[in-house]
Amino acid sequence: MTAPTLSPRKATRTKTAAAPAREVATRDADKTRLKILEAAEAEFARKGLAGARVDLVAEEAGANKRMIYYYFGSKEDLYVAVLERVYTDMRIAEAGLELEDLPPLDAITRLVEFKFDYPAAHPHLITLLNGENMLGGEYLRRSTRLREMQISLIERLKTILAHGEKDGTVRPGIDPLHLYMTISAVSYFYFSNTPTLSTAFGRNLATPKEREIRRKHVVDVVSHYIKAG
């Protein structure tokens, strides 16, 4: 239980003067750290916190197990680091969406498409979040600096809806938070529950064709919900 915390993150950067860009490993040590994170992401996504094996992470990363404890302290702390990274990446991508220049309905459609395309491109995100929710979200809560990121998007959505109301394209009275949840839900559920749904319906829902059908459907659902008239 006693964390050594040799604080390798504050390692002196003797040679490389320029600050490295996000997730670009410049030094060998950073590369090892990154490889561990990537291997851990896959392992935790596949098996959850309890099912993941530290030895397998080490093997997959081509690193010595001891280095995982050297860099991250414990299995749980490694898990938090993975969660933080994946979650932050998504929020950054979301923040980068240029919605404000578009007409309200188009802006929301773009958000819906993003909420479909992002998990499609990052399947680990889904299973990691599923696992985290099974654990009551306690590890994500542990992570600082995640609290502030989310709220801004709801504010942006609120503004977009207000514009739409004003120009008559959007039905009034839509709750931005619940709209955001619904937009997330209709795509997330599809990716998250494809395995059991495919079994239940006796039909593989993970094919590119089915995926495209679903994508059109979710845009359709949200459009009809927000459209005025």
Partner DNA sequence: GTTATATAACTAACTAGTGAGTTACACAAG
Partner DNA sequence: CTTGTGTAACTCACTAGTTAGTTATATAAC
Residues binding a copy of itself (CB under 8 A): 45-51, 127, 129-138, 140-141, 146-147, 149-151, 154, 171, 175, 177-178, 181-182, 184-186, 188-190, 192-202, 213-214, 217-218, 220-221, 224-225
Tell me if 5 contacts DNA by CB under 7 A.
no
Look up residue 206 and give its amino acid. A
Backbone φ and ψ of 170, nearest 5°: -110, 135
Region binding DNA by CB under 7 A among candidate stretches 61-69, 88-96, 143-151, 221-229: 61-69
Cβ proximity to DNA, 26 vs 130, nearer residue = 26
When CB distances are held under 5 to 8 angstroms depending on the partner's kind, the choice from a copy of itself, DNA, none that residue 225 binds is: a copy of itself
The binder of DNA chosen from 16, 20, 53, 207 (CB under 7 A): 53
**Would you count residue 11 as binding DNA (CB under 7 A)?**
yes
Q: Does 182 bind DNA (CB under 7 A)?
A: no
